[in-house]
A and B are shown apart, each in its own frame.
Chain A
């Protein structure tokens, strides 16, 4: 049976974060950008939980950090989607290129 060390978890988290970073930059729909942000948050959480299991198994510091990250990212997705809805009412679009009312 192969053993899996912390490096494998860090590598997986890095792949997920990189994909999320690409999605947040490349996609033009506000909802897709928010989904990519969630993907990045999940990658960070996975890193913290894995390292907490390997480094501080009794204190579980990483698990608490992951809990608070989840709280923040849940608040972020709620506020972000409410913002998308509010802007949709004004511009009838969820394209990021339509959100240009602050453009000089």
Chain B
């Protein structure tokens, strides 16, 4: 008997994330949009838990739900100072809709054709300890490069957003 993903939990989390994404795209208020994005991030974190990726679930909540949405709210409130600035007319782009529809159809066909190659969920699910051990042995070099990328991005963000001398 192999391990399975609970269908009911999956459907609840999937609906939560899709509704969050639709809410983010249809709301007229940018502040509300960032909260809808937060909801998507939390739901995807729950999906990671379903896939027994506990470390990624925690990082997802910390980084996306914690840092990124706070950063987004900071920028929204620094740039849109009056309440009515953040309320925008509904923007409908026919070109964007066509592009998304074509892309979605292509992906749907691909999944319908090849998606059922792997159906069984394997029993083995290593825990956080194994993940950390592999991260610092086999993936040590990419890990160091990633920290360099973060450092450069941090310095660049500070340098870009500083007040220029007047």
Interface residues in B8-27 (C-beta closer than 8 Å to A): 8, 10, 14, 17-18, 21-22, 24-25
Shortest Cβ distance from B153 into A: residue: A75
How far is B100's CA from A27's CA once the two chains are assembled, in angstroms? 13
How far is B44's CA from A38's CA once the two chains are assembled, in angstroms? 12
Q: Are B97 and A85 in contact (CB under 8 A)?
A: no
Q: Are A75 and B30 in contact (CB under 8 A)?
A: no
A interface majority secondary structure = helix
Assuming the contacts A32-B30, A68-B146, asked whether A42 and B161 have C-beta atoms less than 8 A apart, the reply is no
Q: Are A14 and B21 in contact (CB under 8 A)?
A: no
Q: Are A31 and B72 in contact (CB under 8 A)?
A: yes
| Residues on A facing B (Cβ under 8 Å) | 1-12, 14-29, 31-32, 34-36, 38-39, 42, 45-46, 49-55, 57-60, 63-64, 66-68, 70-72, 74-79, 81-86, 88-89, 94
Assuming the contacts A19-B22, A94-B80, asked whether A81 and B56 have C-beta atoms less than 8 A apart, the reply is no
Assuming the contacts A5-B119, A16-B21, A34-B72, asked whether A42 and B44 have C-beta atoms less than 8 A apart, the reply is yes
A43 to chain B, nearest CB (A): 9
Total A-B contacts with CB atoms under 8 angstroms apart: 228
How far is B92's CA from A26's CA once the two chains are assembled, in angstroms? 6
Question: Could you give 16 example pairs across A and B, Cβ below 8 Å?
Answer: A2-B8, A11-B115, A18-B103, A21-B100, A26-B96, A45-B44, A49-B51, A64-B135, A66-B56, A70-B64, A75-B149, A77-B71, A79-B156, A81-B72, A82-B161, A88-B78
**Contacting A4 at CB < 8 Å: which of B4, B18, B91?**
B4
Q: Are A35 and B33 in contact (CB under 8 A)?
A: yes
Assuming the contacts A4-B10, A68-B142, A85-B78, asked whether A11 and B111 have C-beta atoms less than 8 A apart, the reply is yes
Contacts of B78 in A (CB 8 A): 85, 88
A51 to chain B, nearest CB (A): 8
Q: Are A63 and B118 in contact (CB under 8 A)?
A: no
Q: Are B7 and A3 in contact (CB under 8 A)?
A: yes
Contacts of A55 in B (CB 8 A): 118
